[in-house]
Amino acid sequence: MGDAQTGTEPESPQSEQSRSVLLGAFRRAFTETDSRLLQSYVAVSFLLGSLLAILLLLALPVWVFNTAGGSEFATFSRAFLVVGGVLLLVALIAPVVSAGRQHARGTATVRADVSLALAGYLFILSLYVSLLISAPPDQREAPPALVAPVVDFLYSLPPVYAVAPPLLAAALVGVVHRFVR
C-alpha cells in the first residue's frame, strides 16, 4: 500500500537489491573495500569500460556501412567486433564484479581485493601491449630510452600476435578469481 499523504510507495528491503547487478557490484566494491588499489581499479575500469562501450557503439554503424554488400567474411567481421568488444568489457569489469560479490557475501579479504585489482591492472597493461604490437609502422614513434628495447621488441612482432597479451591476461583474471574465492 502506498503512503496516503505523499502518494508514494514505501521503501521495501527489495528496492535496494533490485538495482543493476553491475552497478551494485561497482558501488559495493568501491565503498566496502579497505584496499585503495581496488578502489582505484574500480574507478579506472568504470571509466575505461564506459569509453570502450561508447567506442563500440559508435564504431558498429561505421563498420556495418563499410562492409555492407560484402562477402560472408565481412558479415563475420562485424560479428567479431561485437563479440570481441563484449569479451574485452567482461575481462575489464570481471575483477570488480568478483570483488563486489565477495563483499556482498561477506567473504572479502584485503588480499583478495588487492589480487583482483592487480589482475585487472595487468589486463589493462596487456591492452596497451597489444596496441604496441599491432601499431602500423608509420604510426610508431621512438620510445624513451628506458623502455626502448622492450618497445622495439614489441614493434618487431607480427601484428597477429597482438591478441595473445589480452587473452593471457584475461585468463589470469579468471585464475585469480578462482584462487581468491
State the Cα–Cα distance between residues 171 and 163, nearest whole angstrom.
13
124-155 in b/e form (b: 16+ CB < 10 A) is bebbebbebbebeeeeeeeeeeeeeeebeebe
Indicate if the pLDDT at residue 64 is higher than 90. Answer: no
With respect to residue 14, please indicate whether it lies within any of the assigned structural domains.
no
Mean pLDDT within 34-63:
91
- Examine residue 91 and state whether it is found in any structural domain, yes or no: yes
Find the range with the poorest average confidence among 18-27, 63-72, 83-92.
Answer: 63-72
Q: What is the mean pLDDT of residues 136-163?
A: 92
Tally of structural domains, the chain: 1
Contact 41, 52 (CB under 8 A): no
Instruction: Indicate the pTM of the whole model.
Output: 0.82
Distances (CA, A) of 77 to 63, 98, 166, 173: 9, 31, 19, 26
30 lies in some domain = yes
**Is 70 exceeded by the pLDDT of residue 174?**
yes
pLDDT of residue 21: 79
pLDDT of residue 74: 65
Q: Residue 130: name the closest of 93, 169, 94, 175 by CA.
A: 169
Task: Look at residue 66 in the predicted model and tell me its pLDDT.
Answer: 73
Domain-located, residue 11: no
Neighbours of 62 (CB within 10 A): 9
Task: Say whether pLDDT at 158 is over 60.
Answer: yes
Q: Is residue 5 part of a domain?
A: no
pLDDT of residue 12: 42
> Which band of pLDDT confidence, cut at 50, 70 and 90, is reported for residue 17?
low
Residue 1 confidence class, pLDDT cut points 50, 70, 90: very low
Answer yes or no: is 167 within a domain: yes
| 55 or 68, higher pLDDT | 55
Structural domain contains residue 67: yes
Residue 174: inside a domain: yes
Domain range holding 125?
20-180
Question: Model confidence at 130, in pLDDT bands (50, 70, 90)?
Answer: very high
